[in-house]
Chain A
Amino acid sequence: MEKGMKDHAALAEAFINDEERVDWHDGALWWIRQKRDIASKQIPEWEDLRETASRIKNNVLSNLHDYLLQFEANATLNGIKVHWAADAEEHNAIVYSILKDKDIKQMVKSKSMLTEECHLNEYLIERGVDVINSDLGEYIQQLDNEPPSHIVLPCIHKRKEEIGEIFHEHLGTEKGVSDPTTLTRFARRHLRDVFITRRAALTGVNFAVAETGEYVVCTNEGNADMGAHLSEVQIASMGIEKIIPKKAHLGVFLRLLARSATGQPITIYSSHFKKPREGQEMHLILVDLGRSRQLGRVDFRDSLKCIKCGACMNTCPVYRKSGGLSYHNTIAGPIGAILAPNLDMKKHADLPFASTLCGSCSNVCPVKINIHDQLYQWRQVIVREGYAANTKVLGMKAMAWTLSSPTSYSTLGKAGRWVLNNIPFAVNNKFNPWYKQRDMPDGPKESFDAWYAKNNSQDSEKD
């Protein structure tokens, strides 16, 4: 962790201080997790679908280079201008140059986590381009000057009263209005004006088909389509891992995506974009941004199979109790915790430890990413590379020493029990994080060792 920056534990603690909010955040996400359970259990071949999706993605990752070139060739034939960006800076510069070319000063954006990763909005605003996020949740987050806290439900951590307040402050709705329908209607009217007046629209990409050179964007609000259909310049930003080989594979992923994300059978709009309309320009930017480095890390390359459904976040009890913003990274939750250290190990050294390794994420994941195993592996890497706190290193060394000798272990065990029984305040104090809200176990009079020696001397193998 960087000096002065709060780590996940500290940010989570601040979130948990408002327990009522946590209960409701936890409940809302659990409700979606249950919807996902019901939806997935209505499809007898669900587990086969997961396996198929996982294998398709494995194939993609093993042949990424070829599929990308195939996609580029086909997309170009379709009339899409394909660009390549190695990092955020390059991506942002490309977007800006496209807009500058046409002298466009306003752009509407539909939800794209990649452009969040690239901090595109800030970049463009600094250069005099006005950007509006058209996905309702993202729009609210943008008004409140906060990043999304969830990849599918960007403002799930906000109460409707808070949203009403934000609308009142920024859009001039009446004070105290917090009815979701009223607010949504208002936002919709406001965004319609935006769609009509913007000459450029940027969307993310859910799937890009190598075989046909087309791409698919999934939204529930239709905002991507609205922007794209009305614009004269359409830009799509996609991470290079979003490729799938064939159009026939789309069925597998579209069935999995919506069910895993929200429990819907399919997203309301799954829009296919293949070629520009007459008079329209269509650009697609293929962005690496650490993906190829992650592909080279054998233990972590599987993380690139992610289709960003958010199911791992909804199922993760740590995420549900601590909120997405506590992960201080664009992609929060279990998948974020294995993607983030690839981008900046020092800054994100805390994230792989923000898990109990319960394993629910790996089993809910529609593309079978072994998320919790990767969290375990990252811990090993982070310690090996020297990003663990010194006190922890010393503590672990002492533990290893104690546990490697039965004599020192048994002496310390006795000491520990004696302390618990005779001077509990030595451990039951505020410096002991266990004791803050939990009692220590009662120290029994004797250990099992001692009991066994007394009662079973015939089988005991004493030294």
Chain B
Amino acid sequence: MTVGLFIPCYVNQFYPQAAIATLQLLRKVGVEVVYPSKQTCCGQPMANSGFEHLTQECNDLFLENFSKFDYIVAPSASCVLHVKQHLHSATDPAEADRVRSNVYELVEFLTDVLKVENLRARFPHKVGIHQSCHGLRGLYLAQMSELNALPFSKPVHLLNMVEGLELVTLDRPDECCGFGGTFCVAEEAVSVKMGKDRVTDHTKNGAEYITSVDLSCLMHLEGILHRNKSAIKAVHIAEILNSTL
């Protein structure tokens, strides 16, 4: 099994440490990983802004980069969801179909495909989980509070394997942070208010770190934390799971 590592554009440019952690973590659990270097972006910012019709070249490029892999894994639920829902090909629809069903967010790949049951990791801190909405309700990484159904959480399942880590309980476990792609600038006032309120929930409940499966949410929350000189740090879940003993 060879995994194609899909590192979304903004992760590549702004959060290389999370990408490195993802790569190392996958290797640590015994997976052969290749990073196709000609990748750019999944096209989500355009599609969510109403310009899905401009994403064909992004789609083609994605297929060119990733068709040969058994699995494609990325440290970003939102981008994975976009690929799963909207990757199309004019010339090879069957291949697009195959790729769509083989693309995984890192946490779901670790729990569902590899069925990882223990990790050698240590992170002795109080951590709050920010549920990315696309991870939660799109990829169903955890049970959402809206449904009348049994609770489960793939991120919690993995974080429970990390030594010393203490999860904090939030007042609103699955509220959106307000990032929302271009929403964060088009609706700046609402977006920031939502982000501030998410941060407050974590602060109030004693988190030292906010983690998430989505760096886009974290980039937004981190921007707010920095601006307000908060001591809380934002860290991608891959970095926690890859932290050494």
Contact = CB atoms under 8 A, between A and B. Distances in A.
A239 to B, nearest CB: 26
Contact of B227 (A9, A356, A439): A439
Given A317-B176, A356-B179, A460-B35, A409 B40 contact: yes
A434 B223 contact: yes
A416 B13 contact: yes
Interface stretch (B91-99, B112-120, B189-197): B189-197
A321 B172 CA distance: 15
A404 B220 CA distance: 26
B187 interface: yes
B133 A360 contact: yes
B48 A436 contact: no
Contacts of B183: 353, 355-356
B227 A360 contact: no
Given A384-B53, A456-B35, A461-B34, A356 B9 contact: no
A413 B12 contact: yes
A376 B174 CA distance: 21
B31 interface: no
B194 A317 contact: yes
Interface residues on A, range: 35 or more
B50 interface: yes
A441 B222 contact: yes
B61 A449 contact: no
A376 B20 contact: no
Contacts of A437: 188, 192, 224, 227
Contacts of B223: 434, 438-441
Interface in A298-321: 315, 317-318, 321
B16 A357 contact: no
SS class, residues of chain A in contact with chain B = helix
A443 B148 contact: no
Contact of A438 (B43, B176, B192): B192
A406 B172 CA distance: 40
Contact of A397 (B23, B54, B193, B224): B54
A22 interface: yes
B16 A379 contact: no
Contact of A357 (B51, B57, B180): B180
A360 B222 CA distance: 23
A403 B49 CA distance: 15
Contacts of B23: 452, 456
| Residue from A26, A47, A448 having most chain B Cβ neighbours under 10 A | A448
Given A359-B138, A397-B54, A16 B189 contact: yes
A40 B38 contact: no
A363 interface: yes
A404 B178 contact: no
B46 interface: yes
A47 B136 CA distance: 18
Given A363-B147, A406-B61, A446 B189 contact: no
A460 B190 contact: no
Interface in A357-397: 357-360, 362-364, 376, 379-384, 388, 392-393, 396-397
A194 B51 CA distance: 53
Interface string A46-75: 110000000000000000000000000000
A16 B49 contact: no
Contacts of A399: 45-46, 54
B57 A463 contact: no
Contacts of B16: 444, 446-448, 451
Contacts of B14: 417, 441, 443-444
A297 interface: no
B222 A380 contact: no
Contacts of B123: none
B77 to A, nearest CB: 12
Contacts of A130: none
A12 interface: yes
A108 to B, nearest CB: 37
A149 to B, nearest CB: 16
Given A16-B189, A433-B188, A444-B15, A461 B46 contact: no
Nearest to A443: B14
Interface string B78-120: 0000000000000000000000000000000000000000000
A165 to B, nearest CB: 26
A400 B57 contact: yes
Nearest to A40: B148
A446 B39 CA distance: 16
A404 B40 contact: yes
Contact of B15 (A380, A409, A441, A460): A441
Contacts of A16: 189-190, 193
Interface in A303-357: 315, 317-318, 321-322, 353-357
A462 interface: yes
Nearest to B33: A459
Nearest to A360: B146
Interface string B216-231: 0001101110110000
B19 interface: yes
A318 B9 CA distance: 27
| Residue from B49, B178, B185 having most chain A Cβ neighbours under 10 A | B49
Contacts of B184: 434
B175 interface: yes
B7 interface: yes
A24 interface: no
B108 to A, nearest CB: 17
| Residue from A46, A409, A416, A417 having most chain B Cβ neighbours under 10 A | A409
Given A409-B9, A416-B13, A376 B48 contact: yes
Contacts of A409: 9, 40-41
Given A363-B137, A382-B50, A452 B188 contact: no
Contacts of A315: 146
Given A318-B194, A388-B50, A403-B57, 16 more contacts: A46-B148, A317-B175, A318-B187, A321-B190, A379-B50, A382-B50, A383-B53, A399-B46, A399-B54, A400-B46, A434-B185, A436-B192, A449-B37, A459-B34, A460-B37, A462-B37
Which 9 residue pairs are nearest across A and B when measured between Cβ atoms? A356-B180, A438-B223, A404-B57, A379-B50, A383-B50, A359-B137, A358-B133, A13-B189, A358-B176
